[in-house]
Structure 1
Amino acid sequence: MASTKIEMERKIPVGISSCLLGQEVRYNGGHKRSRYCQDVLADCFEFEPFCPEMAIGLGVPREPIRLVGEADEKPRALGTVDSSIDVTEPLLQSGYNLASKRSHLRGYILMKGSPSCGMERVKVYHPNGMPNTSDSGIFVRALREANPALPMEEEARLNDAVLRDNFIARVFAYDDWKNSVEADPSYHNLIQFHSRQKYLLMAHHYQGYRELGRFLAESHELPLEQAMSEYILGFMRHMTHRATRKTHTNVLMHMLGYMKKSLDTETKQELLANIEEYRLGTVPLVAPLVLLKHYLKRYGGDYICEQTYLNPYPHQLGLRNYI
């Protein structure tokens, strides 16, 4: 993993489950410190820890809670020993409160499997005590309802190179949105955001890229606030799709097309061969990108050179060395 120190003018505010920063807030007094979050991402992100259980007054140590419910109903958070302990409503309220009070957050990193913070696949038990199905944690359910555009990911899933790239790209894109569109609302800024995020979106979901393009063509007919809300919800939803070698190759070929009249035959063949090696899995994405960026600096116009796809996050993270 990357270990180079990352220098940023401003760190991006990101929420995180407190136990992942080494705080001893788990039911047994332990923690789940994440080295990657503290040793790497902390260079980019200003982490704001939060523990829903502690926030609603549960102490340490405490009786564990778990999700309980029938397969066709929303589960509740009950005590594992004393099932009369029901903290569902307080946990839901903590999620709504956090979304309201910390609307400046650009993302959230969560603890896997937690009945409060787990994003998905959290065990749900039948009232008789038998494992039943799975769902998301109670706190996350409320947080997602209150701010569906907020990028979220479980810390354990950041071990997957593609999911890691996906989440961090979404956080930086959402930060761009907050700073450039939400801070200064206008149709012009909305369209400029889409313009520079175009190829990044294309890499994640080509259909979503086309859908939002059509939406923007008619967005002036909507009130600005509505147009912005519908756009960012669509954008962040489409960005959750995983980019693949096929979709990245498509974007690389599109970008190469901007220089086809400027490049000599030998250079074109070199770039095409590099892109093909990436498509076949011989080299990581960084290989054709470095070469492509080199020639785009010489022959690309402002539009193509300003695409966030080329630099969606600090290169020192080294994320594209692994995909």
Structure 2
Amino acid sequence: MQTIKVGISACLLGDEVRFDGGHKRSAFCTDELGRHVEFVKLCPEVGIGMPVPRPTIRLEQRDNGVRAIVPKTGEDVTQRLEDFAARAQGHLAQISGYVLCAKSPSCGMERVKLYNPENGHARKEATGIFAAQLQQRYPALPLEEDGRLNDPMLRENFVMRVFVYAAWQGLPEPISKADLLAFHTSLKLLLLAHNQQVYRDLGRQVAQQQDMTAAFLKSYIETVMAALAQPATRANHTNVLQHIQGYFKAALSEDQRAELTEAILAYRQGIEPLLVPLTLLRHYLREFPNEYLAGQRYLNPYPKDLKLRYGL
């Protein structure tokens, strides 16, 4: 079985490596996600040789761009953080996602304070130096912050993307047309739920592409991951649920069809969570097997014990 590796800010696993000597342990990561993935932990600030505890770093807008500055000494540690990201590539080559520490000038993914050194005023509009390097070096890699993982929809979306990306990384190399077709087929309903235009466009591209060039494969997976990062709406989920329902139309009794229709509409109206119609559909799939549906990641995108669709 493939071991799924996920990068993570070390403080989120409880390591006391923050500037004040503390940590920001994430219970979801340590107690739940950690049952299914192997974490690769890093602390960029410790990685560049800074002590614990240490003077704070802040991001400042300078003439030469956004810089990571130690206000106490005036030292610019931007290049050291970028060099650390380059050195860390060996550790990060096989990771399928990364959980970053929010608000950090090194690891924050978004809305990190960016200071004007002239007046000390700050705007929440920057990305941490190390996080920005991750985005540039691994554009398809699922990234998320610890604070955003408290949102049920964002949590589910991140974990789903991690498992999809891990499946992509697990494809045999070189990737053949048959391998790509099988992978893409498994994602059809997920893509339909998240971005209908990409669902249609990628279907045509995959069907027409004969040469599995590195450029095409890179473009393909980056497009897939960007599409899946867009939240799936209730309307799109409903469309997919009704699409799946059609496969059982001839097999179900009138009462069963009515029950399934009612469950889907109750989800559409916000009365029931997504799990309710999905549970019915999975039950009917066991009773009336269908090879195409059985291979769809939409129905089982990650381990059930993570209980991520309970609140959707």
SS class of match (2:147): helix
State the distance in 1 between where 2:19 and 2:222 align.
Answer: 35
**Match among 16, 19, 25 for residue 24 of structure 1:** 16
Structure 2, gaps ≥5 residues long:
none
Alignment-derived partner of residue 80 in structure 1:
71
Query: Pairwise mapping of residues 1-323 of structure 1 onto structure 2 (< 5 A)?
Result: 11-69=3-61, 74-83=65-74, 85-128=75-118, 129-181=120-172, 183-220=173-210, 222-323=211-312
RMSD: 1.6
Once the 2 structures are TM-superposed, how far is the Cα of residue 96 of structure 1 from its aligned partner? 2.8
Cα 1:73–1:203 change in 2 (3 A) is farther
Once the 2 structures are TM-superposed, how far is the Cα of residue 21 of structure 1 from its aligned partner? 0.7
SS class of match (1:308): coil
Share of identical aligned residues, percent? Answer: 44
Once the 2 structures are TM-superposed, how far is the Cα of residue 156 of structure 1 from its aligned partner? 0.9
Q: For residue 188 of structure 1, what is the amino acid of its counterpart?
A: A
CA contact (8 A) 2:7 2:98 kept: yes
State the distance in 2 between where 1:199 and 1:133 align.
Answer: 36
State the distance in 1 between where 2:303 and 2:224 align.
Answer: 21
Alignment-derived partner of residue 6 in structure 1:
none
Q: For residue 313 of structure 1, what is the amino acid of its counterpart?
A: Y
Q: 4+ residue stretches of structure 1 with deviation over 4 A?
A: none
How many residues in Structure 1 have an aligned counterpart in Structure 2?
A: 311
Q: For residue 158 of structure 2, what is the amino acid of its counterpart?
A: F
Cα 1:228–1:38 change in 2 (3 A) is same
CA contact (8 A) 1:118 1:154 kept: yes
TM-score, normalised with respect to structure 2? 0.95
Once the 2 structures are TM-superposed, how far is the Cα of residue 218 of structure 1 from its aligned partner? 2.3
CA contact (8 A) 1:92 1:141 kept: no
* Deviation per residue, 1:181-212 (Å, 9 max, x gap): 5x451111111100011111211111221121
SS class of match (1:304): helix
CA contact (8 A) 2:176 2:212 kept: no
Once the 2 structures are TM-superposed, how far is the Cα of residue 62 of structure 1 from its aligned partner? 1.1
CA contact (8 A) 1:17 1:110 kept: yes
State the distance in 2 between where 1:266 and 1:123 align.
Answer: 57
Once the 2 structures are TM-superposed, how far is the Cα of residue 73 of structure 1 from its aligned partner? 6.7
SS class of match (1:75): strand
TM-score, normalised with respect to structure 1? 0.92
State the distance in 1 between where 2:124 and 2:14 align.
Answer: 30
Q: For residue 219 of structure 1, what is the amino acid of its counterpart?
A: Q
Q: For residue 155 of structure 1, what is the amino acid of its counterpart?
A: D
Structure 1, gaps ≥5 residues long:
1-8
